[in-house]
Structure 1
């Protein structure tokens, strides 16, 4: 079971790292992928900084859980992605369900489940 948890944490970390690096290297592409855009240079900077911080913090926490034996850091990752899911559900309630919402909600829910599974399982080993 520990190996499955390590794979789960690695998948969360790799996804987060890929998205974080995309935010730093190509925020316009990340914005397009996520359905948001930068209207001004300040918006472009916000895409790079804010989304980069979100994803890279998750990647770093996943790496600490995986390589430094700090499984409890995965609770923070679960919290970040869980808050993203909560924000999406709030948006659905307030504004209605936009086209294509199922994919990001599903991805984020899977990341929450993998993070919780990793935190619980690696925390016991």
Structure 2
């Protein structure tokens, strides 16, 4: 089970690394893949900053957690994906569906499931005998 979780976390980290770097180096093209139309300079700046941050933080957390086999490292990435999934769910209810709406939600749900399993399965970080600092 540990090996499978490590592989799934590493794959998630690689996907998020690719997406984060895509938004950093070419936000207009990466944004178009997410259904965002050509933004102005401010929009490109926001995409380059916010999407890059989202995906690179997730990639870092998943990669580090896979490397160290520590579940506590996944909490920031888990919160990002839970909020993203919730936002898509609310949009689905309020606005309705669109072509292939289930794809991004499936990816986010898979991230959440894998991270929850890893948090439950992997140990937390080591605490010194004197307690937390």
Task: Tell me the TM-score normalised to structure 2 length.
Answer: 0.85
Which structure 1 residue ranges, 5 or more long, are not aligned? none
1:18 maps to which residue? Answer: 18
Aligned positions, number = 124
Runs of 4+ in 1 over 3 A off after TM superposition: none
Larger RCO (CA within 8 A; separation ≥ 6): 1
Matches of 1:116 and 1:15, distance apart in 2: 18
Q: Find the aligned partners of 1:61 and 1:40 in 2 and give their Cα distance.
A: 31
Between structure 1 and structure 2, the one with the greater Rg is 2
Q: Unmatched 5+ residue regions in structure 2?
A: 125-133
Indicate how the Cα distance of structure 1 residues 123 and 8 shifts in structure 2: closer, same or farther if over 3 A, else same. Answer: farther
Retained in 2: the 8 A contact 1:17–1:56?
yes
Contact 1:10 1:66 in 2 (8 A): yes
